[in-house]
Amino acid sequence: MSPGPRASPGSAPALRRTGIALAAACLAWGFAESTLFFVIPDVLLTLAATRNLRRALFGCVLAVAGALAGGALMYTWSARDHAAAAAAVDAVPFVPARMVARVHEHLVQQGGWAVVVGAWIGRPYKLYAVEGAAVGMSLAAFLATSVPARLLRFVFLAVVARLVARVTIRRWGWRTTVTIWAVVWGINYGLYWTAMSS
């Protein structure tokens, strides 16, 4: 008996599987980056946005959900054993001790607003989770400020990626668009990691 026809890449089942895989990846990446991973979910979200903004925006929501779970975990760990949580974060690549001190000071001075600002100035969210517990911020306040802190940047970059992709895909096609995406993120992380290593 011959096998049935295989689903084409553009068929409904294939698109559904792609959507499920993307959703799972966004959720997992949001959680991982808010704990001990060091590459932000924006990398995946902007790639998704080059093809489908609606799907990318749904991915943004899931990445935030993953980040809240990871942030709550790191906050709780820090509240119970700050030294251990801080040591784990300190071991994450490209997190210099001077940045931890700045995050701590930022939280003391600005409270929850520091979590929102930190998302835009290259300071890892996990640091705010660990140091938020250390400075006495409540878990509820930390999670409440985490939503705009994570979501606004995710959505902003996804929208920008989609706008750029509409131009590049029309002019040069999908493969060139992905190459541009990879080069932009490569340069971004090359500069960031160099700065954090100096």
How do the domains of the chain map onto residue ranges? 16-29+40-197
Find the helix packing angle between 174-197 and 42-51, rounded to 10°: 170
The whole-number pLDDT of residue 154 equals: 98
Cα–Cα distance for residue pair 198/193, rounded to 1 Å: 9
Model confidence pLDDT, tens digit, residues 138-190: 999 999 999 999 999 999 999 999 999 999 999 999 999 999 999 999 999 99
The two three-digit tokens of residue 44, written as one number: 């995946």
Model confidence pLDDT, tens digit, residues 31-86: 999 999 999 999 999 999 999 999 999 999 999 999 999 999 999 999 999 999 99
Q: Among 70, 81, 65, 60, which Cα is nearest to 36's?
A: 70
Instruction: Kindly list the distances between the CA atom of residue 120 and the CA atoms of 74, 114, 116, 154, in Å, as whole numbers in the listed order.
Output: 20, 10, 8, 10
The whole-number pLDDT of residue 71 equals: 98
Rg (CA), the chain: 19
